[in-house]
Chain A
Amino acid sequence: MPAQPPNRPANRGWDPDHLASALSIATRYARSGARRLALSRADQDDLRQDLLLNLLERQPKFDPQRANWDAFVTLVCRRAVIDRMRAAGRAGPVREPGIDLDLLPHGSSLTQPASGDLCCRLDLARLAHELPAAPARLLRHLQATGDVHSVQQGTPQSRASVFRRLRDLRAWLACAGLNPSTTAAYERVDQTAETDSAPRT
C-alpha cells in the first residue's frame, strides 16, 4: 500500500522579494490590528506571527494569473485581522470566579479593588497634596475612574505620554512607600478561586 502523502501545503519556497513584501505587509497589518484591539507589544508580535502562519497556509492557493503577490498577501492579512477582531468581539461574558463572601473583609468591594481599602484611599488623598501638579492630577484622575484604560480614553494625550506619566507617578508612589499592589483580601480570593478550579484527584 503506497504511503499517503502528508496533508500539508507544498513548501515551494518564497523568493526574497515575496518574503520581504510579506513581512512588510504582515507587520503593517499586525500594527493596525494591535491598535484596534488595544494589544500590547508582545501580543502585536504574536498577531504578526499568526498572520505569517496564515499566509504560509494559504500560499499554495496563490494564482499569479489572478492578482499579484502583494494583493494576495494584503487580502490574506486583512481577512485574518478581521477574523481576529470578530473573535475578540465574540469572546462572551467574563468568567465569574467562585467567591466566598466570608473571606472578604467588611466594606470591601469586588468591583472597586483600589478604592475599597479605606486606609489606602486616605494615604493616597494625603499624598496627592504633596505631589507636583502633573502626577497629583493623574493620581486623582486614576482614583476617580479606577482604571488606566479610562484615563487613557479620557485624555487627548497619546498613549505613550499617558504611560510615561504613569511611570512617573509610580516612582512618586514608591518614594512615598506606597507600592501599587493588590490587597490581601483579593489575593486570598484569587487563591481560593484557583484552588476551587484545580482538578481534584
Chain B
Amino acid sequence: MSTAEFAAETFGRPYLPDLPFMSERDFYRAVAAATPGSSVTYHVGMLAVDRDLLATPLSSEQRRTVHEIAHRAAQLAATGWGFLVQRRLGTARFAYELVIARRPLSKRSARAMLTPPELLAEAA
C-alpha cells in the first residue's frame, strides 16, 4: 500500500495539499526577516507525502521545491538557527514551522570578534 493510499484509507478522502507553495527565495527572505521567537510556516499539508517521489500528488517541480525547503529548514534547525515544530490543523493537514532561535549573540560576537582583530583595528 502506498503512502497516498494509506492516507486516503486513513482519513477517508484523497489527500490534497494546500496551494500555492512558498518558493525557496520567499522562504529565505522570511527566515532572514524573522525575529527570534517568531515562526516561519514553510509547508501546510502532509510533508512526508508531499516529499515522497511516488506518493506525492504534486508536480515534480513543486515536489522539488517542497523538498528543498524542508531540507533547508532541517539544516537550519541542525545548525541551531531554529526549531522544527508542526501543528495539527485538521484531518491530514499540518502546518510545518521553523521557530527562529535566539542566536547566541554575545558568544557569537566574542568568537567572531576574536577572529579578525585586524578588521576591528581598521574599523576603530
Name the residue in B32, B76, B80 with the highest tally of chain A Cβ atoms < 10 Å from its Cβ: B32
Name the residue in B80, B81, B103, B112 with the highest tally of chain A Cβ atoms < 10 Å from its Cβ: B112
Stretch from A4-12, A90-98, A126-134 that touches the partner? A126-134
Supposing A130-B79, A175-B28 touch, asked if A122 and B111 sit within 8 A by C-beta, the answer is: no
Q: Is the CB of A131 within 8 A of B79?
A: yes
CB-contact partner of B123 in A118, A128, A174, under 8 A: A118
Chain B residues positioned under 8 Å from A159 (CB to CB): none
- B115 at the A interface (CB under 8 A): yes
- B72 at the A interface (CB under 8 A): yes
Q: Is the CB of A174 within 8 A of B32?
A: yes
Q: Is the CB of A175 within 8 A of B31?
A: yes
Nearest-Cβ distance from residue B47 to partner chain A, whole angstroms: 19
Interface size class of A (residues with CB under 8 A): 10 to 19
User: How many angstroms between the C-alpha atoms of A132 and B75 in the bound complex?
Assistant: 9
Chain B residues positioned under 8 Å from A125 (CB to CB): 112, 115-116, 119
Q: Is the CB of A129 within 8 A of B115?
A: yes
Q: Determine chain A's interface SS by DSSP, over half rule.
A: helix
Q: Is the CB of B112 within 8 A of A174?
A: no
User: How many angstroms between the C-alpha atoms of A177 and B28 in the bound complex?
Assistant: 8
Mask of B88-119 contacts with A, CB within 8 angstroms, 1/0: 00000000000000010000110110011001
Residue on B nearest A140 in the bound complex, by CB: B115
Report 30 cross-chain contacts, Cβ distance below 8 Å, ordered by A residue.
A118-B119, A118-B122, A118-B123, A121-B116, A122-B112, A122-B123, A125-B112, A125-B116, A125-B119, A126-B109, A126-B112, A128-B112, A128-B115, A129-B108, A129-B111, A129-B115, A130-B79, A130-B80, A130-B81, A130-B108, A131-B79, A132-B78, A132-B79, A174-B28, A174-B29, A174-B32, A175-B32, A175-B72, A175-B76, A177-B32
The chain B residues found within 8 Å of chain A, CB to CB, are 24-25, 28-29, 31-33, 72, 75-76, 78-81, 103, 108-109, 111-112, 115-116, 119, 122-123
**Which 10 A-B residue pairings sit nearest by Cβ, starting from the closest?**
A177-B32, A174-B28, A126-B112, A175-B31, A125-B116, A129-B111, A175-B28, A129-B112, A132-B79, A125-B112
